[in-house]
């Protein structure tokens, strides 16, 4: 929903942007391009001029053979001139590409990497709203298209226009009257031109967006393949995909049809008018005494008109390409114009690392929340002392994961403040803040690399020395201790199973870690959170996929390891709560109770309800009445 409305909004803004404004947006990428592009343009125009002049030169040269009588030297010199021109033409064509291709590719690459950087900086809410394929199609297909336009389309458009103008001027000098008539052909084109533009841009935008949707479907169908297989719903997915692909096909065909109509007009109008010119011209020549138009002039006129044929067609095609390129720019701008809400402050504060975590009247609501509804996090105040382990308990959907995500600023609080070691998280440099925090999400989010790279994700493993996101911390394991840190973390997470994997810690874990069992994945995610020895540890239901025994082992080791680490742990079970010194109950967006497990069990009926399996008995009738 969100994305659609967003895309519509941006399409509107894209429509308002003119081609020039769109191009101006590319300024930052074109640094190295401008000079070379201009040189390339000159080469292209020069090549065009040479190509046009060769036949003329040939004609005069061959005629000169006649004048001088039989002169061998004339043959040689004529051939020499033609050879020189021929070589020049080839060289110019080579130069055009030589000048333009590398900087165009550089521009493409820098757009691509900047887009990637931008995307990585955009918040989780942006990412959940945008289909994966939309981003991917912007990063690859759109930019390939732009490169081709820079390197080829833009030059050809200009050269075509230039030859059009030159040809037309030539024609006007030969026969002003016919030139005026011919100009009449341009009028209807001026009328249909903007219409064509509008329609074509619409279809090109729609089809590029649709291509993104198709890619999204592909991605989802692969990521969700287990579900599709479990229910045998490959056909169903195929149906959905086919619909999208079908729409893409329709849009592409409509786009081509629009272009085809324009191309047709670009042929019929000038050539049709030329037909009229022929009629008029013949009449004029037949009445040469009164009109003064000679046969020679008529023939020359049509010879010149023929020169315009190529450029006119070229302009049609290249306009199509240009509009598609503009769409690509618009789509690029959509993403680049999105505000990166979560950034490091201009002047960052920092604090000595103790691990005091304080939530002060924290409010948060998702952007799509209904008006008038209370905030999802509605004024949470809580203080976790250094080294303390605090469990956070709520009913399903109570907002615990959301709250956890607020601390490393994956989402931004909408009210109140979160303080770590006395400093508002918004005042820390992001890297500083996040390097203090270790987090285990409720779904493991592993990468398809080795166990080792996954566990050491938060450390300096496989980072360049000058990685700005790896601020030095006293507690962080040094380069040479990484191995040890990894084994330590694996031990605490009871993830020693990795030793038994085919290549030990170097075993690739498969896409999203899916060649491991559920519990194994979760333990790797847990090990990852602790490996960098953060001062604040956020664990989102870290034991949910573990059996009671493993859970016990992990709990024991964690308890020991967590001694000095401030920990906020989301718990759904008493066994997880057992890790905690104190428990906070999150209810209706607020922390309503804080105390030890047994205190709360005694004191709070709500806590008892959430923490014990003995719920209000549901009668058989009640359940059956659901059916």
Ligand X SMILES: Nc1ncnc2c1ncn2[C@@H]1O[C@H](COP(=O)(O)OP(=O)(O)OP(=O)(O)O)[C@@H](O)[C@H]1O
Q: Among the candidate windows 52-60, 304-312, 341-349, 514-522, which touches Mg ion by CB under 5 A?
A: 514-522
Q: Among the candidate windows 341-349, 399-407, 464-472, 592-600, which touches Mg ion by CB under 5 A?
A: 399-407
Euclidean distance between CA atoms 551 and 196, whole angstroms:
66
521 burial via Cβ count (<10 Å: 0-12, 13-18, 19+): buried
Residue 445: left if φ>0, alpha if ψ -120 to 50, beta else—which one?
left
Q: Give the CB-nearest residue to ligand X.
A: 519
Q: Which residues pair with 571 in a beta bridge?
A: 393
If binding is defined by CB under 8 A, does position 243 make contact with other proteins?
A: no
Q: Which of residues 385-424 bind ligand X (CB under 6 A)?
A: 394, 396-402
Q: Among the candidate windows 479-487, 515-523, 560-568, 608-616, which touches ligand X by CB under 6 A?
A: 515-523
Comparison of 255 and 572: residue with beta carbon closer to Mg ion: 572
Euclidean distance between CA atoms 255 and 12, whole angstroms:
19
User: SS3 of 61, please?
Assistant: helix
Comparison of 126 and 152: residue with beta carbon closer to ligand X: 126
Q: Which of residues 351-380 bind ligand X (CB under 6 A)?
A: 366, 368, 376
Which distant-in-sequence residues (6+ apart) come within 8 Å of 590 by Cβ? 378, 379, 380
- Identified binder of Mg ion from the candidate list 469, 518, 603, 612, rule CB under 5 A: 518
512 binds, among ligand X, Mg ion, other proteins, none (CB under 5 to 8 A by kind): other proteins
If binding is defined by CB under 8 A, does position 233 make contact with other proteins?
A: yes
Q: Which residues pair with 363 in a beta bridge?
A: 378, 415
Q: How far is CA 348 from CA 88, 175, 239, 345, 356, in A?
A: 60, 73, 51, 5, 18
If binding is defined by CB under 5 A, does position 401 make contact with Mg ion?
A: yes
Q: How far is the CB of 166 from ligand X (least distance, A)?
A: 59
Q: Among the candidate windows 9-17, 172-180, 378-386, 550-558, which touches other proteins by CB under 8 A?
A: 550-558
Q: Is the torsion defined by CA of 123, 126, 127, 129 positive or negative?
A: positive
Q: How far is the CB of 576 from other proteins (least distance, A)?
A: 9
Q: How far is CA 626 from CA 27, 133, 215, 613, in A?
A: 62, 39, 39, 22
Comparison of 402 and 535: residue with beta carbon closer to Mg ion: 402
- Identified binder of other proteins from the candidate list 291, 381, 414, 448, rule CB under 8 A: 448
Q: How far is the CB of 362 from other proteins (least distance, A)?
A: 18
Q: Among the candidate windows 44-52, 111-119, 175-183, 509-517, which touches ligand X by CB under 6 A?
A: 509-517
426 binds, among other proteins, Mg ion, ligand X, none (CB under 5 to 8 A by kind): none
If binding is defined by CB under 5 A, does position 258 make contact with Mg ion?
A: no
DSSP code, position 615: P
552 binds, among Mg ion, ligand X, other proteins, none (CB under 5 to 8 A by kind): other proteins
Q: Which of residues 82-121 bind other proteins (CB under 8 A)?
A: 82-83, 85-87, 89-91, 93-94, 97-98, 101-102, 105-106, 108-109, 112-113, 116-117, 119-121
Q: How far is the CB of 21 from other proteins (least distance, A)?
A: 27
Residues that contact ligand X, how many (by CB under 6 A): 20
- Identified binder of Mg ion from the candidate list 13, 517, 563, 612, rule CB under 5 A: 517
Q: Which of residues 573-612 bind other proteins (CB under 8 A)?
A: 573-575, 578, 597, 601, 609-612
Whether the Cβ atoms of residue 398 and residue 571 lie closer than 8 Å to each other: no
| 182 Cα distance to chain centroid | 47
Euclidean distance between CA atoms 450 and 442, whole angstroms:
21
If binding is defined by CB under 6 A, does position 128 make contact with ligand X?
A: yes
If binding is defined by CB under 5 A, does position 366 make contact with Mg ion?
A: no
376 binds, among Mg ion, ligand X, other proteins, none (CB under 5 to 8 A by kind): ligand X
Number of residues that make up the chain: 627
Whether the Cβ atoms of residue 233 and residue 206 lie closer than 8 Å to each other: no
Q: Which residues pair with 537 in a beta bridge?
A: 438, 567
SS3 per-residue string spanning 102-130:
HHHHHHHHHHHHHHHHHHHHCCHHHHHHC
Comparison of 315 and 516: residue with beta carbon closer to other proteins: 516
H helix intervals, 122-175:
124-129, 132-139, 141-148, 154-174
If binding is defined by CB under 5 A, does position 394 make contact with Mg ion?
A: no
Euclidean distance between CA atoms 384 and 419, whole angstroms:
10
- Identified binder of other proteins from the candidate list 8, 21, 169, 517, rule CB under 8 A: 517
Q: How far is CA 281 from CA 171, 177, 296, in A?
A: 14, 10, 11
Q: How far is the CB of 562 from other proteins (least distance, A)?
A: 18
261 binds, among other proteins, Mg ion, ligand X, none (CB under 5 to 8 A by kind): other proteins
**Run of H or E including 278:** helix 234-286
Q: Is the torsion defined by CA of 305, 306, 311, 315 positive or negative?
A: positive
If binding is defined by CB under 8 A, does position 499 make contact with other proteins?
A: no
Q: How far is the CB of 542 from ligand X (least distance, A)?
A: 12
What x/- string results for residues 422 through 461 when contact with ligand X is judged by CB under 6 A? Answer: --------------------x-------------------
Q: What does the buried/exposed string (b/e) look like for 211-249 if buried means 16 or more CB atoms within 10 Å of the residue's CB? A: bbbbbbbbebbeeeeeebeeeeeeeebeeebeebbeebe
12 binds, among other proteins, ligand X, Mg ion, none (CB under 5 to 8 A by kind): none
φ and ψ at residue 313, rounded to 5 degrees = -65, -40
- For tokens 């114009």, name the residue: 337
Comparison of 15 and 116: residue with beta carbon closer to other proteins: 116
Q: Which residues pair with 438 in a beta bridge?
A: 537
Q: In 10 A of CB 471, how many CB atoms? A: 15
566-571 vs 582-587, strand pairing mode = unpaired
If binding is defined by CB under 6 A, does position 519 make contact with ligand X?
A: yes
φ and ψ at residue 566, rounded to 5 degrees = -70, 125
Q: Which of residues 519-538 bind other proteins (CB under 8 A)?
A: 519-520, 523, 528, 532
154 binds, among ligand X, Mg ion, other proteins, none (CB under 5 to 8 A by kind): none
Whether the Cβ atoms of residue 419 and residue 394 lie closer than 8 Å to each other: no
List interacting residues with ligand X (CB under 6 A): 128, 366, 368, 376, 394, 396-402, 442, 515-520, 545
List interacting residues with Mg ion (CB under 5 A): 401, 442, 517-518
């Amino acid at each position: 929903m969100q994305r659609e409305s967003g895309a519509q909004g941006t399409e509107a803004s894209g429509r308002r942007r003119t081609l020039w404004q769109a191009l101006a947006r590319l300024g930052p990428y074109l640094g190295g391009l401008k000079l070379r592009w201009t040189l390339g343009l000159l080469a292209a125009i020069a090549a065009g001029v040479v190509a046009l002049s060769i036949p003329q030169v040939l004609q005069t040269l061959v005629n000169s053979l006649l004048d001088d009588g039989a002169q061998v030297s004339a043959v040689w010199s004529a051939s020499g001139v033609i050879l020189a021109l021929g070589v020049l033409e080839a060289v110019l064509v080579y130069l055009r590409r030589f000048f333009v291709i590398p900087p165009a590719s550089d521009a493409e690459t820098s757009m691509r990497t900047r887009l990637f950087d931008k995307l990585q900086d955009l918040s989780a809410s942006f990412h959940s709203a945008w289909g994966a394929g939309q981003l991917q199609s912007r990063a690859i297909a759109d930019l390939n298209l732009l490169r081709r336009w820079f390197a080829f389309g833009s030059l050809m458009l200009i050269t075509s226009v230039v030859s059009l103008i030159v040809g037309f001027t030539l024609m006007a000098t030969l026969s002003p009257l016919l030139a005026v008539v011919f100009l009449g052909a341009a009028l209807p084109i001026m009328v249909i031109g903007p219409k064509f533009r509008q329609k074509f841009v619409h279809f090109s935008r729609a089809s590029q967006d649709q291509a993104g949707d198709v890619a999204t479907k592909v991605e989802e169908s692969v990521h969700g393949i287990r579900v599709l297989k479990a229910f045998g719903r490959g056909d169903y997915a195929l149906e959905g995909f086919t619909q999208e692909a079908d729409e893409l096909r329709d849009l592409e065909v409509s786009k081509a049809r629009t272009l085809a109509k324009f191309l047709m007009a670009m042929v019929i109008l000038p050539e049709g008018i030329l037909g009229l010119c022929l009629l008029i011209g013949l009449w004029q020549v037949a009445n040469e005494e009164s009109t003064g138009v000679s046969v020679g002039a008529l023939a020359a006129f049509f010879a010149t008109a023929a020169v315009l044929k190529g450029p006119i067609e070229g302009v049609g095609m290249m306009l199509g390409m240009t509009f598609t390129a503009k769409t690509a720019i618009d789509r690029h701008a959509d993403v680049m114009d999105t505000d990166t809400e979560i950034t490091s402050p201009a002047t960052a504060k920092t604090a000595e690392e103790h691990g005091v975590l304080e939530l002060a009247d924290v409010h948060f609501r998702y952007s799509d929340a209904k008006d008038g509804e209370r905030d999802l996090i509605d004024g949470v105040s809580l203080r976790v002392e250094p080294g303390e382990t605090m469990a956070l308990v709520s009913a399903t959907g109570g907002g615990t994961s959301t709250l956890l995500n607020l601390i490393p600023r994956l989402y931004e609080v909408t009210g109140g403040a979160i303080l770590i070691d006395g400093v508002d998280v918004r005042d820390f440099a992001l890297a500083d803040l996040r390097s203090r925090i270790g987090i285990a999400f409720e779904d493991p989010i592993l990468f398809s690399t080795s166990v080792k790279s996954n566990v050491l994700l938060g450390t300096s493993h496989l980072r360049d020395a000058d990685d700005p996101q790896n601020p030095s911390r006293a507690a962080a394991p040094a380069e040479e201790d990484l191995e040890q840190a990894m084994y330590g973390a694996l031990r605490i997470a009871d993830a020693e199973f990795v030793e038994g994997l085919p290549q030990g810690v170097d075993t690739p874990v498969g896409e999203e870690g899916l060649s491991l069992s559920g519990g194994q994945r979760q333990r790797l995610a847990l090990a990852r959170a602790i490996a960098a020895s953060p001062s604040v540890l956020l664990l989102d239901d870290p034991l949910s996929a573990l059996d009671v025994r493993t859970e016990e082992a992990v709990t024991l080791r964690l308890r020991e390891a967590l001694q000095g680490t401030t920990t906020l742990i989301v718990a759904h079970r008493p066994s997880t709560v057992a890790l905690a010194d104190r428990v906070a109950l999150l209810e209706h967006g607020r922390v309503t109770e804080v105390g030890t497990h047994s205190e709360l069990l005694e004191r709070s009926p709500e806590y008892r309800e959430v923490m014990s399996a003995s719920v209000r008995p549901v009668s058989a009738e009640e359940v059956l009445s659901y059916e």
